Structure 1
Amino acid sequence: MTYAHLTTNELVIIEAYHQEGKKISAIAKSLGRARQTIYNVVAYLEQGYSAYDYYEHYKVNKKRCGRHNTQLSKEETDFIQSHLEKDWSLDVIKGTYPNKVSCSMRTLYRLADRGVFKKENLPWKGKRKQNGKKEMRGKQAFRRDIRERAERYPTFDREFGHFEGDTIVGKDSKSAAITLVERQSKVIIALQTNGRKAQDIEQSLRDWLTKFPKNLFKSMTFDCGKEFSNWKSLSNEYDIDIFFADPGCPGQRGLNEHSNGLLRRHGLPKQTDFNEISQEVLSAIADKRNNIPRKSLNYQTPLQVFLSYFKVSNLI
């Protein structure tokens, strides 16, 4: 049962009964309170104070009750801030270094709300497109539906080698880069391309796939844009299944969309001219994300998980 503090009315009644000379047991029975509770008030009144004085004293004491705001040491704050500046999230910092952060993950976010940490470029909030927005970009007439993927790979969610892909467009929509994300390891691949046409995308993917043995990767899932219309030749030559999400359904490639957002916020904003960025720079930006631990990977980095599958396959 939760204890209820004495109200101001009860304090006034206790003071009146005490002045009339009533016994503590009688007052306690009349108010339905414990005798010790009444005794504490009466003892205070007998020192020459009033019920009002007792209530003011109570309010001062009550301010000292309850949980106090968490205070981190300067070493902890500096440690957390240094990792935030490397684009680590608060939950990843706590999960990766549980012994170096003394408070809980939820408390870390409360401290961030209080302004203890400095963090800009937070993730998107709200909807990016209005409800009912129609997709006006070109779409392929023939493509392999994403539902075929479930039939072809019953254990799709547990297998290594399935990618989600897309292009991110640069300044004035005149340049682009290809992004791929492997679903199990969440490793991000960023590829340079000479243009946005289908033959440019095909050539870049072809150059990347030739670096790996055939049958290592099983499938790729793209959106249905025309830039991926040369998918058949890639699928046949490299023995990899290529599927396409439904138009206007980015959630069917949610991991890739999320990864594109990470790249946008941490190195490739929308005003980027990809014609002026080399493959080395693209790879460096992707590698930065691939070397940050992720909670969904049990605080391993995507690169660690990706390479672990290569060890299993005896490729490294």
Structure 2
Amino acid sequence: MSRRDAAARVGVHVRTAADWDRGIRKIGDARVHPDGHRIDYNTAVTSGSVLSLAVVEAELHPRFLTVTERETIADLWRQGESLRAIGRVLGRSPSTVKREIDNRSVAGEYQPHRAQRAWAASRARPKASKLAQHGPLRDYVTAGLQQRWSPEQICHALVTEFPDDEGMRVSPETIYQAIYIQARGGLRRELADALRTGRTRRALHRSPEQRTPRFDDMVMISERPPQIEDRAVPGHWEGDLIVGTRSESAIVTLVERSTRYVLLGHLPGRHTAEAVRDVLIPLIKTLPEHLRGSLTWDQGCEMAAHKQFTITTGVPVYFCDPHSPWQRGTNENTNGLLRQYFPKGTDLRIHSPEDLEHVAQQLNNRPRKTLGWHTPAQRLRDLLTTT
């Protein structure tokens, strides 16, 4: 069974189960690792590191040299082989071999097992976090967070304010770790409230393959046919909402990808999925059949009724990836133009359907550089007269 199910069966947290799998034990206020070193929860100090045989012989990433490769280097170097010849045998760069011999030799002699132990020792980092220690650096970071500066702003402010003091340096990641990771305990947990996100722990980031689809039967933009992508065929639309103040009003915006022709839908009340569907269906049906190719939208909850829309109109809906507005770049650009008429923070309920039609006509009769200084209305008229 999975680790999560096993942890639930035993009655422990999944992180505790992960520690057990890695051989980590909790003793008092410390976590003891298999190699013998321990991390104290309160002081964040790592101590008692033991260089065990398991650490020396650990095989990690393929970019690291193994004991066997170091033995081969020693044997071939002793036989007088060149760096390039040794590199060819190992499948490594000659510079890797040279760096290994130069850095790990003692009194001009390269010993593979001593080199392996030195490499293993160099990987251990028993020192405490910079921010676990009291001092001016920690005080500066604490004061910056209390002023609601971001970790990145603090990092660059330190360089500006202390240009000659290398001790006053800290990376944004170190600050985040001091806040988020309990074991490092460098900064008070309350300082997390000063972050713009207000989080006390890191947000979980999933790959697109691991994300749960927001709606049933979603067809993602990656499955959109190539003729839509290159704008070769007209009749494919991008859509979105322009939302008014306090999200109490909205306007449905549609733009055709090849002609940039704009359609606006009146939505004076709540922009629920049913309300948006009921505006989109008659809006799309004003178009001739050959201009009802597809609709691309983001994953906003207003498109939860996309299946009913498709059944009624025959227009398939493609969904963009989360947080990817550039995948609907034409619509995003059009919404920026529409904000000249409908500024942010205004109540959109004051605009009637006639007002929206007037604005759409103005945009559709505006010359566009991307159309060779023709207007969207002219391009659409050409399509209607030639088909």
Paired position in structure 1 for 2:240: 166
Match of 1:220 among 295, 311, 326: 295
Q: TM-score, normalised by structure 1?
A: 0.53
1:302 & 1:169 partners in 2: Cα distance?
A: 24
Is the CA contact (8 Å cut-off) linking 2:273 and 2:303 kept in structure 1? yes
Count of matched residue positions in the alignment of Structure 1 and Structure 2: 179
Answering whether residue 315 of structure 2 is matched by residue 243 of structure 1, we say no
Answering whether residue 276 of structure 2 is matched by residue 276 of structure 1, we say no
2:254 & 2:299 partners in 1: Cα distance?
A: 15
Paired position in structure 1 for 2:250: 176
Structure 1 unmatched ranges of 5 or more: 1-129
Q: Deviations over 1:207-228 (max 9, x none)?
A: 2123234343100000100101
Paired position in structure 2 for 1:302: 376
Q: Percent identity?
A: 34
Answering whether residue 359 of structure 2 is matched by residue 260 of structure 1, we say no
Answering whether residue 356 of structure 2 is matched by residue 291 of structure 1, we say no
Q: Deviations over 1:139-177 (max 9, x none)?
A: 8233210011136x4775211001010001001111111
Answering whether residue 261 of structure 2 is matched by residue 187 of structure 1, we say yes
Paired position in structure 1 for 2:114: none
Is the CA contact (8 Å cut-off) linking 1:185 and 1:306 kept in structure 2? yes
2:288 & 2:369 partners in 1: Cα distance?
A: 30
Give the letter aligned to residue 270 of structure 2. G
- Distance verdict in 2 for CA 1:211–1:286, change over 3 Å: closer
2:244 & 2:286 partners in 1: Cα distance?
A: 26
Q: Deviations over 1:57-93 (max 9, x none)?
A: xxxxxxxxxxxxxxxxxxxxxxxxxxxxxxxxxxxxx
SS at match of 2:344: coil
Measured on the aligned residues, the alpha-carbon RMSD in Å equals 2.6
Paired position in structure 2 for 1:110: none
Could you list the structure 1 runs, at least 4 aligned residues long, displaced by more than 6 angstroms after superposition. Answer: 132-135
Give the letter aligned to residue 228 of structure 1. M
2:321 & 2:280 partners in 1: Cα distance?
A: 22
- Distance verdict in 2 for CA 1:281–1:133, change over 3 Å: farther
- Distance verdict in 2 for CA 1:238–1:275, change over 3 Å: same
Offset at residue 206 of structure 1 (A): 1.2
1:134 & 1:260 partners in 2: Cα distance?
A: 31
Paired position in structure 2 for 1:146: 221
Is the CA contact (8 Å cut-off) linking 1:163 and 1:183 kept in structure 2? yes
SS at match of 2:318: strand
Higher RCO (CA 8 Å, separation ≥ 6 residues): 1
Give the letter aligned to residue 247 of structure 2. S
Is the CA contact (8 Å cut-off) linking 2:221 and 2:318 kept in structure 1? yes
Is the CA contact (8 Å cut-off) linking 1:185 and 1:297 kept in structure 2? yes
Paired position in structure 2 for 1:60: none
Give the letter aligned to residue 164 of structure 1. E
Paired position in structure 1 for 2:308: 233
Offset at residue 189 of structure 1 (A): 1.3
Is the CA contact (8 Å cut-off) linking 1:162 and 1:217 kept in structure 2? yes
1:199 & 1:133 partners in 2: Cα distance?
A: 32
1:188 & 1:214 partners in 2: Cα distance?
A: 17
1:250 & 1:221 partners in 2: Cα distance?
A: 11
Offset at residue 134 of structure 1 (A): 10
Match of 2:281 among 206, 223, 247: 206
Q: Deviations over 1:13-35 (max 9, x none)?
A: xxxxxxxxxxxxxxxxxxxxxxx
Q: Deviations over 1:193-252 (max 9, x none)?
A: 242100000000112123234343100000100101111111122111110101100000
Is the CA contact (8 Å cut-off) linking 2:228 and 2:236 kept in structure 1? no
Q: TM-score, normalised by structure 2?
A: 0.43
1:241 & 1:299 partners in 2: Cα distance?
A: 31
2:292 & 2:248 partners in 1: Cα distance?
A: 30
Is the CA contact (8 Å cut-off) linking 2:263 and 2:283 kept in structure 1? no
Offset at residue 133 of structure 1 (A): 10
2:284 & 2:203 partners in 1: Cα distance?
A: 35
